[in-house]
């Protein structure tokens, strides 16, 4: 959540009026990872039905990596001036960190589940 909040703060602080095409895909991946995580957390009590959760979050994080790389390529294609590239790159990097954080949570859940089995 901290990374997503940071990204929003950066958009406001940097006065970014339009995000590059592809950021909406990053946000959709993050929203899905958040939904899956919220749905999985009650299952920690019984340690059941968690395998699909960490597999899907891992898949989503891989998808987020691909989106991030495409966004970086887009930012450096010459459409934006250098200052705008710096601003936008920091925003998309923070969103990528959010995806990594969801994967970290899923990996932790997997580790706990394996130790408890």
Q: Mean pLDDT of all residues in the chain?
A: 96
Q: What is the pTM of this model?
A: 0.92
- How many Å apart are CA 117 and CA 111, to the nearest integer? 10
Q: What is the pLDDT of residues 33-83, one digit of tens each?
A: 999 999 999 998 998 899 999 999 999 999 999 999 999 999 999 999 999
Residue 15 φ/ψ region, left for φ over 0, alpha for ψ in the -120 to 50 degree band, beta for the rest: left
CATH number of 2-116: 1.20.58.220
- pLDDT band for position 116 (50/70/90)? confident
- Domain chopping of the chain, boundaries: 2-116
Task: Name the strand (E) or helix (H) holding 100.
Answer: helix 82-116
- How many Å apart are CA 3 and CA 29, to the nearest integer? 14
**Quick check: 103 pLDDT over 90?**
yes
Q: Which two tokens stand for residue 107?
A: 């990996």
In this prediction, residue 117 carries a pLDDT of 76
Contact by Cβ (8 Å): 53, 40: yes
């Amino acid at each position: 959540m901290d990374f997503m909040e940071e990204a929003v703060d950066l958009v406001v602080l940097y006065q970014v009026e339009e995000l590059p095409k592809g950021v909406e895909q990053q946000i959709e991946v993050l929203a899905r990872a958040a939904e899956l995580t919220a749905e999985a957390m009650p299952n920690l009590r019984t340690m059941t039905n968690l395998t699909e959760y960490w597999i899907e979050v891992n898949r989503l994080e891989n998808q987020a990596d691909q989106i991030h790389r495409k966004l970086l390529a887009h930012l450096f294609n010459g459409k934006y001036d250098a200052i705008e590239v710096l601003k936008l790159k920091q925003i998309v990097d923070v969103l990528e960190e959010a995806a990594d954080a969801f994967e970290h949570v899923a990996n932790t859940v997997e580790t706990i589940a394996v130790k408890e089995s």
